[in-house]
Chains A and B, each alone.
Chain A
Amino acid sequence: MTKHLSSTWLPLGCLLLLALFPLIAPVLDLGFYVSFVRRVLIYALAASSLNFILGYGGMVALGHAAFFGAGAYVVAILSAQGYSQAIVVWPLAMLVAGALALLIGAISLRTRGVYFIMITLAFAQMVFYLFISLRQYGGEDGINLSAPSTLPGLSLASDTQFYYLVLVIVALCLWLMHCMVNARFGRALQGIRENETRMQALGYPVLRIKLVAFVFAGALAGLAGALLANHNLFVSPSLMHWTASANLIIMVIVGGIGLRFGGVVGAAVMLLLEEFLRLYTDYWHLPLGVLLLVIVLFAPRGLAGMFFRRSV
């Protein structure tokens, strides 16, 4: 019972803290960190969408950053063309990322094991080089956005208003993923993770379920990308370099694979560590690598695994 309580109240408490943060931060002289927490939230959404297919679907996709980057580029390219209404552009970013995921997933999901890892990686590299070659949109150097997307009644140029919008969107998406994981669809997906042959024999359309999950995760990553484009007001192909995909996987693993808040905890821990280590040394990858080794070798369930029960 206590376990159950903690898994309900802890997230709500965190949400409340996050909602109060922009109000408290200036008092504590942490105003600068409002924007930082916003970035954490955006990466939390991207990592959680990967956790959906990686943790619950057992699909080790090493190309998730392609969808993230595609969403960001939709916002940047449309903004350069003069379209910046968030109500139109952001769903379009999800649509494009989802369509890309449909194309890549339809081919990749036919392969197994290491081959799946490799082919998702190959497709992501293709997308990466595709955007490098878009010279009218900055090529390898990337492209600046002249202004953030517009929404009636809100100004995304305001740090706080954009913060609350991101918080609401990310919370809604996490809640949606939580519902899906516990719905029939999510149960079937987890069944496939455990034993694909058996689910096939039981009559589940295995490939279709995996593909739907893959596209859903791709679309959410696209939304995260759209948010990040507005956050940075800059988009470049490095968003979808294969090491960016690996970083998303690391966030999921560090946070806790297949755990409800694995992606959130992972994104928060990794970005905080990066920020913190950068203060002290140029060589911040090294301690990060050591930490990753320790987690892989000694804490296979990640950090969230120590605080939350497995929400299966």
Chain B
Amino acid sequence: MSGTLIAEQLLNGLQFGLMLFLIAAGLTLVFGILDILNVAHGSLYMAGAYVAAQTMQVTGSFVAAVLVAAVVTGLVGLVLELVLVRKLVVRDHLAQVLGTFAVILIANDVVKMIWGPAPMMMNMPAGLSGPVQLSPDFLYPAYRLLIIAVGLAVALGLYLFVTRTRAGVLVRAGASNRQMATLMGVRVPLLFLGVFVLGAVLAALAGALLGPITAIQAGMGEQILILVLVCIVIGGIGSMRGAFVGALLVGFVDTAGRAFLPTLLKLFFSPAVASSVGPTLAAIAIYILMAVVLVFRPAGLFPARG
């Protein structure tokens, strides 16, 4: 197992973790402030990916694809908040899960109606399709480096937004005590709307960025949603810092598990056992991580509320 292989897997883990964070940030904000468990958040990610792929096909510009995806998905989020989420705020978690699950059912069929049941491909921006030489014997895909850079920039931007701006103060106030914030004169409906749309835009950004390296198809939202839920549960639902730590943890554990566990097990067990147990263990590693965290810290690593 060489150093470059480990470095490559670390970068892959970072890239995956940052994309999970983009989706998790919106989900955890929506949960922290609206107190809604929105399982349709994955559908916003899917919408972002489809719109980006379509725009890329029409215009050929990657920047345009990302921007259009963000705007269109933001509008979808706006409508979703006004029509449905607003009504679910006063209901229990069960009703929220089911109401937003209904959105998943609808969204999957709508994208199939528009784009057909076959997976859609999205081209990489032409200039970034090759590898970059990071050290004499270490090549890494340029596009994945771009994802890492954008992911880090957005994470930093979100941090500055939440800690340094007036809107960020309102967001934090709403998250820590909604009722108190209302009494202090925060316009809560507007805050809810803003947070939900921000979450949608972030999810769309992740969808657009991951578009060229995943198969864009109906159902992609549910797959990633489960991973994202694991991230925010590990971090503590409602906590931005928790979402960041949780997403990176899940990104690294999942990537490292798939890359190294089968090899690692061969050191201790027979090859037959290692090759059958390894992939299983790698697939369930993050769920074990989550269960262990919840046994010791039932409200996650960074509980958002006291």
Contact = CB atoms under 8 A, between A and B. Distances in A.
Contacts of A243: 222
Contacts, number: 117
B283 interface: yes
A3 interface: no
Interface string B99-130: 10111111011101100000000000000000
Given A126-B284, A133-B279, A289-B104, A119 B294 contact: yes
B178 to A, nearest CB: 16
B287 to A, nearest CB: 4
Contacts of B105: 285-286, 288-289, 292
Contacts of B270: none
Contacts of A135: 276
B299 interface: yes
A112 B290 CA distance: 15
Given A122-B290, A293-B99, A132 B283 contact: yes
A297 interface: yes
Contacts of B108: 285
Interface stretch (B90-98, B148-156, B200-208): B90-98
Q: How large is the interface on B (under 10, 10 to 19, 20 to 34, 35 or more residues)?
A: 35 or more
B48 to A, nearest CB: 20
Interface string A20-44: 0000000000000000000000000
Contact of A111 (B88, B104, B109, B298): B298
B226 interface: yes
B97 A62 contact: yes
Interface string A242-256: 110010011001000
Contacts of A110: 295, 298
B287 A123 contact: yes
Q: How large is the interface on A (under 10, 10 to 19, 20 to 34, 35 or more residues)?
A: 35 or more
A111 B298 CA distance: 6
Contacts of A122: 230, 233, 287, 290-291
24 contacts: A60-B93, A107-B294, A115-B299, A118-B290, A122-B230, A125-B284, A126-B284, A132-B283, A133-B283, A249-B98, A253-B94, A285-B105, A285-B106, A285-B109, A286-B109, A289-B103, A289-B109, A292-B98, A292-B101, A293-B84, A293-B99, A296-B91, A296-B98, A296-B99
Given A253-B98, A290-B106, 19 more contacts: A110-B298, A115-B294, A118-B290, A122-B230, A122-B287, A122-B290, A122-B291, A126-B287, A126-B288, A129-B284, A133-B280, A246-B97, A253-B94, A286-B106, A289-B104, A289-B109, A290-B102, A293-B102, A296-B95
Question: What 8 pairs between A and B have smallest CB-CB spacing?
Answer: A289-B105, A133-B280, A289-B106, A292-B102, A286-B109, A129-B283, A289-B102, A283-B109
Interface of B: 31, 37, 84, 87-88, 91, 93-95, 97-99, 101-106, 108-110, 112-113, 222, 226, 229-230, 233, 237, 276, 279-280, 283-284, 287-288, 290-291, 294-295, 298-300
Interface of A: 54, 60, 62, 107, 110-115, 117-119, 121-123, 125-126, 129-130, 132-133, 135, 242-243, 246, 249-250, 253, 257, 282-286, 288-290, 292-293, 296-297, 300
